[in-house]
């Protein structure tokens, strides 16, 4: 079964063709990062307009890459939540028109379920159940993946997402947008004990997380240093920051894995590219005996293939949408 998959929830427009859930025939992506860099963050209006400009050409490119005609497309899958509402709407409306024109089913896909599914593409042997740490620009969740379409939220950030925190700290340090990857490079060789940074706990919710205190602590540290004319040890700060983020994420993920006892842990989302988090999860899973599944860097950020993969499993579960499908800025991962 060939699925045409569409993703437009943030600042990447992506169209993929995925066969039977796990074989990627084409994955065409247009990033808008250069447009948003000058503003230091994603400007929603610009994002929507750029999606409109890119999406038709990307679909043509994806079909050409896949080497199949439109008539061989059996269904259309699309990210319908969560994300920037105007951006998501572009993909949803394009997907509706393709579904109508080709007379094939329309499958709505939750964006974070898609991030999790990137692991199915990377690891053909991986099947639920497993525990997944989902860390991206807008979401930080610990999820019980009981089945392909049966997911339960175990814990979530109460404030900022981990990726958002990386981006804001990078911005105040003047090292560019999006800041996760340059922060990661800066941290290499830095002393991770150089600065003492907080690790927050949420009272009575051991699997919930919080990053706003950490973000504020770094911002205060930078502003105080600037006021006093002191020079910061930037690699040390980046390494101390990555350690604080990882110390918040990894023990909670392992706590969830221990409670559920599946023996399998996966990571998903843009921040899954972070070298410190990957290394800490590797040693934690070595110690606990859990098998760890990490997506390759190319599948951590937004892409269409992950939507086509999850779309296949949603299709098998009977999930369909009509022409009244709406887009949502927020949506419970458990509800799909
Ligand atoms: P969401 O998936 O929550 O809707 P999004 O789609 O914008 O948000 P992704 O594209 O999955 O998020 O991930 C982007 C985020 O990943 C950015 O915040 C970016 O800084 C972060 N990121 C990318 N590489 C790294 C890295 N090596 N270390 C830390 N963060 C990283
Ligand atoms: Mg992005
Ligand atoms: Fe994403």
pLDDT-flagged residues of the chain (< 70): none
**Is 92 close to ligand 1, i.e. is its CB under 6 Å away?**
no
pLDDT of residue 37: 87
Q: Are residues 43 and 162 in the same domain?
A: no
Confirm whether 143 is domain-assigned: yes
Find the helix or strand (DSSP H, E) in which 80 lies.
strand 75-81
**Is 181 close to ligand 1, i.e. is its CB under 6 Å away?**
yes
Q: Are residues 141 and 283 in the same domain?
A: yes
pLDDT of residue 191: 98
Q: What is the pTM of this model?
A: 0.97
Is residue 167 classed exposed, middle or buried when 0-12, 13-18 and 19+ CB atoms within 10 A define those classes? buried
Give dist(CA 264, CA 204) in Å, integer: 26
Count structural domains, the chain: 2
Give 299 Cα–ligand 1 centroid separation in angstroms. Answer: 11
- Token pair for 74: 């059996």
CATH code of 205's domain: 3.30.420.40
How far is the CA of 39 from the CAs of 36, 46, 100, in angstroms? Answer: 5, 11, 37
Give 162 Cα–ligand 1 centroid separation in angstroms. Answer: 8
Confirm whether 230 is domain-assigned: yes
pLDDT of residue 119: 98
Q: Are residues 150 and 215 in the same domain?
A: yes
| Pocket mutation for ligand 1, best pick of 8, 133, 137, 333 (most atoms within 8 Å of C-beta) | 137
pLDDT of residue 149: 98
Q: Are residues 44 and 131 in the same domain?
A: no
Q: Are residues 308 and 182 in the same domain?
A: no
Q: Are residues 208 and 312 in the same domain?
A: no
Q: CB 267: neighbour CB atoms within 10 A?
A: 28
> Is 246 in contact with 200 (CB distance < 8 Å)?
no
| Pocket mutation for ligand 1, best pick of 270, 329, 330, 331 (most atoms within 8 Å of C-beta) | 270
pLDDT of residue 39: 87
**Is 304 close to ligand 1, i.e. is its CB under 6 Å away?**
no
Q: Are residues 154 and 104 in the same domain?
A: no
The domain containing residue 308 runs over which residues? 2-115+301-335
Confirm whether 120 is domain-assigned: no
pLDDT of residue 35: 87
């Amino acid at each position: 079964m060939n699925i045409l998959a569409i993703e437009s929830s943030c600042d990447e427009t992506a169209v993929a063709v995925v066969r039977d859930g796990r074989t990627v025939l084409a994955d065409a992506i247009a990033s808008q990062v250069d447009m948003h860099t000058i503003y230091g963050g994603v400007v929603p209006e610009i994002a929507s307009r750029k999606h409109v400009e890119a999406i038709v050409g990307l679909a043509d490119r994806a079909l050409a890459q896949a080497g199949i005609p439109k008539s061989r497309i059996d269904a259309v899958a699309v990210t319908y939540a969560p994300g920037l509402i105007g951006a998501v709407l572009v993909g949803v409306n394009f997907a509706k028109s393709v579904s109508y024109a080709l007379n094939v089913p329309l499958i709505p896909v939750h964006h974070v379920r898609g991030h999790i599914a990137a692991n199915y593409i990377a690891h053909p042997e991986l099947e639920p159940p497993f525990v997944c740490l989902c860390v991206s620009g807008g979401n930080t969740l610990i999820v019980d993946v009981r089945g392909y379409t049966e997911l339960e939220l175990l814990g979530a950030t109460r404030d900022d997402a981990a990726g958002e925190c990386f981006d804001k700290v990078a911005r105040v340090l003047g090292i560019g947008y999006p800041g996760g990857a340059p922060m990661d490079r800066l941290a290499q060789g830095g002393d991770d004990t150089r600065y003492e940074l907080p690790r927050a706990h949420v009272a009575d919710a051991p699997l919930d997380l919080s990053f706003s205190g950490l973000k504020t602590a770094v911002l205060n540290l930078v502003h105080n240093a600037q006021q006093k004319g002191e020079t910061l040890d930037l690699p040390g700060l980046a390494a101390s920051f990555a350690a604080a983020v990882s110390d918040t994420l990894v023990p909670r993920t392992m706590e969830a894995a221990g409670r559920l006892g599946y023996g399998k842990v996966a990571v998903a989302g843009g921040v899954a590219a972070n070298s410190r988090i990957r290394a800490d999860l590797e040693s934690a899973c070595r110690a606990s005996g859990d098998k760890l599944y990490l997506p390759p860097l190319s599948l951590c950020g937004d892409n269409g293939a992950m939507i086509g993969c999850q779309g296949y499993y949603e299709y098998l579960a009977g999930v369909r949408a009509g022409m009244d499908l709406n887009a949502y800025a927020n949506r419970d991962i458990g509800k799909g």
